[in-house]
């Protein structure tokens, strides 16, 4: 399976959008080579601002630019974008509902060797709880491209979560799946696989793992439906209630803490609408550590095998 990092797709689509939309300006905090915004910087030097290692100033500067009609896209590592500049994002971006896009790379633990200081397992939770904020987690490079195009067309603050390592392509070129063209809509989850026994609700790089898990389960005669929730907020409540009713069991999967992320969001919906067995695959309230991306995902329980085990458990508990 071909692998491309979501940050690489981001760098390319930024250049494409910069060409079309002269209002787009890009800000980075001294990591433009790594976040891939350097591609935009090279092409449009006047519309790129390196703000140095100063994330707080960068966020509010972006807010100021947005008040003058610019569409600022702000990039740095996810841990610094969200946790370092949280109050700035809250006070001057989310609260006034300004049109600033925060596109962060190096999310989750798949950052790898840099270790816990550079990994974030809580960004979805803290960005999701912020009023006015839209939160998007693309599953692969192709979804990153359509997702970034969509957020530029959307007016309002958005957080997009990208990653460092190359990850398998879930979609086919042009945002197709199984040959069929799809439409990326903010707030609308995508059903990737049919199945009546259980639903795996996944986001980000765990979507590919969910599909692998579904293939393994099929051999055990468990038919798992797989949905990709690329928008964590506003979440597609309708489809989540529907799949819970139709399949009677849920497993969520995300490269994020089991607290407050996709699993938390799904649990919040289910508890108000329908009671079904559910398990959350994610990082169990722990900080990360150094290691290879693959080694870390294995150690922290973020593989297809972990999803398979969880599915077997919830399917058994179905009444």
Partner 1 sequence: MSEASRTNESYGDELIKRLNEKAKNFRKELLIMTTRSGSGHASSALSAVDIITALFFHQMRYNPKDPGWEDRDRFVLSKGHGCPVLYVALAEAGYFPKEELATHRKLGSILQGHPDMKTPGVEIPTGSLGQGLSAAVGMALAGKLDDKDYHVYVVLSDGELDEGNVWEAAMAAAHYKLDNITAIVDRNYFQVDGPTEEIMALNPLSDKWRAFGWNVMEIDGHNMREILVSLDEAVKMKGKPTVIIANTIKGKGVSFVEGDNKYHGKALSEEELALALKELK
Q: Which residues bind partner 1 (CB under 8 A)?
A: 25, 46-47, 49, 51-52, 54, 56-57, 59-70, 72, 87-88, 90-92, 95-97
Q: In this structure, how many other beta carbons lie within 10 angstroms of the beta carbon of residue 279?
A: 20
**CA geometry: angle 233, 164, 46, nearest 5 deg:** 85
Q: How far is the CB of 62 from partner 1 (least distance, A)?
A: 6
How far, CA to CA in Å, does 212 sit from each of 186, 202, 307? 25, 12, 9
Closer residue to partner 1, CB minimum distance, 97 or 191:
97
Question: What are 6's two structure tokens?
Answer: 């979501």
Nearer CB in complex with partner 1: 29/103: 29
E strand map for the chain: 3-4, 24-28, 48-50, 71-75, 101-104, 134-136, 158-161, 167-168, 176-177, 180-181, 190-193, 198-202, 224-228, 231-233, 250-257, 278-283
238: number of Cβ within 10 Å: 12
Select which of 2, 16, 55, 221 is catalytic. Answer: 55
- What is the nearest approach in angstroms of partner 1 to the Cβ of residue 10? 22
Kindly list the strands in the beta sheet with 250-257, ordered across the sheet, starting from the edge strand earlier in the chain. Answer: 190-193, 224-228, 198-202, 250-257, 278-283
Nearer to partner 1, 1 or 68 (CB): 68
Distance CA 225, CA 218 (A): 11
Q: How far is the CB of 56 from partner 1 (least distance, A)?
A: 4
Considering beta carbons, is residue 14 or 62 the nearer one to partner 1? 62
Backbone angles phi, psi at 210, to 5 degrees: -65, -40
The least distance separating partner 1 from the CB of residue 124, rounded to whole angstroms, comes to 23
- Per DSSP, what are the bridge partners of residue 191? 227
Count of CB atoms within 10 A of residue 262's CB?
29
CA gap 135, 101 in Å, rounded: 10
Please, what's the largest Cα pairwise distance for the chain? 62
Ramachandran region of residue 61, left (φ > 0), alpha (ψ -120 to 50) or beta? alpha
Tell the smallest beta-carbon distance from residue 97 to partner 1 (Å): 8
**Which lies closer to partner 1 via its Cβ, residue 42 or residue 317?**
42
Does residue 2 carry a catalytic annotation?
A: no
Query: How far is the CA of 64 from the CAs of 85, 191, 192, 296, in angstroms?
Result: 15, 39, 40, 39
Shortest Å, Cβ 100 to partner 1: 10
Q: For partner 1, give the closer residue by CB, 63 or 283.
A: 63
Least distance between partner 1 and beta carbon 11 (Å): 22
| Nearer to partner 1 (CB atom), residue 21 or residue 91 | 91
Nearest to 101 by CA among 59, 69, 64, 130: 59
Q: Which residues are catalytic?
A: 55
């Amino acid at each position: 399976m071909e692998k491309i990092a979501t940050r690489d797709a981001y760098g390319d689509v930024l250049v494409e959008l910069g060409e079309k939309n002269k209002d787009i300006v890009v800000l980075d905090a001294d990591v433009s080579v790594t976040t891939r915004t350097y591609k935009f910087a090279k092409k449009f030097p006047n519309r790129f601002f390196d703000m140095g290692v100063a994330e707080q100033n960068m966020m509010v500067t972006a807010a100021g630019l947005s008040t003058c009609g610019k569409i600022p896209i702000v990039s740095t590592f996810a841990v610094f974008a969200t946790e370092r500049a949280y109050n700035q994002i809250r006070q001057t971006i989310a609260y006034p509902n300004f049109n600033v896009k925060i596109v962060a790379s190096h999310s989750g633990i798949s950052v790898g060797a840099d270790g816990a200081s550079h990994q974030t397992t809580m960004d979805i939770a803290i960005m999701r709880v912020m009023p006015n904020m839209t939160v998007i987690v693309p599953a692969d490079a192709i979804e990153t491209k359509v997702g970034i195009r969509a957020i530029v067309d959307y007016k309002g603050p958005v957080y997009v979560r990208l990653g460092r390592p190359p990850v398998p392509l879930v979609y086919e070129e042009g945002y197709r799946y199984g040959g069929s063209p799809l439409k990326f809509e903010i707030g609308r989850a995508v059903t990737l696989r049919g199945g009546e026994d259980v639903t795996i609700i996944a986001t980000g790089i765990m979507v590919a793992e969910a599909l692998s898990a579904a293939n393994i389960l099929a051999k055990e005669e468990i038919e798992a439906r797989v949905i990709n929730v690329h928008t964590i907020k506003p979440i597609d409540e309708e489809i989540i209630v529907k799949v819970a009713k139709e399949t009677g069991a849920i497993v969520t999967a995300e490269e994020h803490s089991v607290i407050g992320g996709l699993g938390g969001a799904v649990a919040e919906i289910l508890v108000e609408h329908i009671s079904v067995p559910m398990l959350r695959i994610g990082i169990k309230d722990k900080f990360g550590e150094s290691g290879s991306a693959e080694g870390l995902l294995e150690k922290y329980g973020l593989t297809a095998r972990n999803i398979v085990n969880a599915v077997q458990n919830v399917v058994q508990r179905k009444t």
